[in-house]
Structure 1
Amino acid sequence: MAPDDRRASLIAATVPLLHECGLDVSTRQIARAAGVAEGTIFGVFPDKGSLVVAALMHALDPRPTVDAIAAIDPGAGLRDRLARAATLINERFSANAHLMAGARRLLFASDAHPDAAARMAEGRERLHSALAALIEPDAALLRRPPGTVARLLLLFCGANSFGPFGDPARFDGDEMVSLLLDGLLVTHRTDRRGDDRC
């Protein structure tokens, strides 16, 4: 097997183990899952940490979510587009919550992996930009710029998945968008300045 193929195979075998065992996964577990001898790992990666970081970067790559946001029907109303995007982001954050926490601990607690930390930051920016682009066609309906609205929705989604209060009740995409666009005050639908596009 070519080194690039072996590298990809080891990363693919490591990702499910990170979900199951966290950062404490052993090279023996990885080798068994990949169907290779443990020494094979060190022919491709200099150490276990490098493999774990590569697997984290693969698992946390925002491309599938960014692509799914870009595929949302631009003809749908703002409220519907945002609810679909919030659902996608919630799914991503919830599925990877413990991996994101582990990545932050591993990548930002020291300067040991600056390239990976930069990739994480770039991935967050790609997600933010995709969301801002989804909002942009209806910028005139909003009191804040699309980038700010996108950041607020990401904050809502982040708190929904990583919030410190341990509340088992999670908001779905529709409810989060309602909170973002309508706030918490009870109003009649006609009070929303006659906005039928939202």
Structure 2
Amino acid sequence: MENKRRRVPALAPEERRAALIDATIPLLHEHGLDVSTRQIARAAGVAEGTIFGVFETKTSLVVCSVIKALDPQLTLDALAAIDRSQPLRERLIRAAELIHARFAENAQLMTAARKLLLTGDATGQMLANRQSLQAALTDVITEGADQLRRPPAAVASLLLLFCGANTYGPFGDPDNFSGEETVSLLLDGLLRRGTQ
């Protein structure tokens, strides 16, 4: 039996654009920037030339796909759902777990994003995503901030910095830094209690 490629019905340009982006995202996770337009077309169920009827270049499709894949809304919603009546340490542990998971899931896409020349709207969107994450994390920390030496925004920034370096940096070790360990490092430091 011949394996025929499934063709999708004709779509309006914006729907076709969205379908191509949705088909590209999993391929970027799997292949990074080495994904081909042939692979994208096959995944989307369209002819390869269809891509260029909607996107000027493969790079423009990849940039749009990376931006959509890195949309922080699911993480923002999860951060907003953290029970603010929990103790600060428990809230921070949950927040650290969410941030670690987001960074780990998107590590290959972040590498791809860094390799792309993101200009204009793309750079602005990436900056807006980072600011949204920091604001949501700051909100998690605000209740109980009187226990901290630094303002909530600074603590949020440090947590994001550590999670990012641990995921993307050359000395990162995400398997050994759970949310609890990360928060302990942030709140308690490295000295054993009772030592000078």
Do the two structures share a fold, i.e. TM-score over 0.5? Answer: yes
Pairing 1:162–2:168 present? yes
Aligned residue for 2:122, secondary structure, equals helix
Checking the alignment, whether the CA contact within 8 Å between 2:104 and 2:167 is kept in structure 1 is: yes
The one-letter code matched in structure 1 to 2:117 is L
Task: For residue 39 of structure 1, report the CA deviation from its aligned partner.
Answer: 0.9
Work out the CA distance in 1 between the residues paired with 2:79 and 2:131.
Answer: 14
Q: Structure 1 residue 70 and structure 2 residue 80: aligned?
A: yes
Which residue number in structure 1 is paired with residue 134 of structure 2?
Answer: 128
Matches within 5 A, 1:15-164: 15-107=25-117, 113-164=119-170
| Structure 1 segments of 4+ aligned residues over 6 angstroms from their partners | none
Using structure 2 for the length normalisation, give the TM-score: 0.90
| Cα distance change on mapping 1:179 and 1:166 into 2, 3 Å | closer
Given that residues 107 and 114 in structure 1 are in contact (C-alpha distance below 8 angstroms), is that contact kept between their aligned partners in structure 2? no
**C-alpha displacement at 1:166, in angstroms?**
5.6
Mark the runs of 5 or more structure 2 residues left unpaired by the alignment. 1-10
- Say yes or no: does 1:10 pair with 2:32: no
CA distance in 2 between partners of 1:26 and 1:60 (Å):
20
- Once the two structures are superposed, residues 143-193 of structure 1 have per-residue CA deviations (whole angstroms, 9 ceiling, x without a partner) of 0000000000011111221121264743000110011000111117xxxxx
SS of 2:16's partner is helix
Structure 1: distance between partners of 2:95 and 2:174: 22
Question: CA offsets per residue over residues 102-139 of structure 1, 9 Å max, x none?
Answer: 1022135xxxx221011101100000000001111111
Decide whether the 8 Å contact of 2:82 with 2:91 is kept in 1: yes
Conserved? CA contact 2:84–2:91, under 8 Å? yes
Percent sequence identity over aligned pairs? 63
> In 2, Cα distance between the equivalents of 1:184 and 1:18?
38
Aligned position for 1:192:
none
Deviations 1:22-72 (A, max 9, x none): 112111110000000111111111111110001000111111101110111
Cα distance change, pair 180–168 in 1 and its aligned pair in 2 (3 A): closer
Q: Tell me, yes or no, if the aligned pair for 1:69 and 1:131 is still in contact at 8 Å.
A: yes
Indicate conservation of the 8 Å contact 1:62/1:123, yes or no.
yes
Quote the Cα distance in structure 1 between the aligned partners of 2:173 and 2:130: 25
Q: TM (normalized to structure 1)? A: 0.89
Counterpart selection for 2:179 from 165, 169, 173: 173
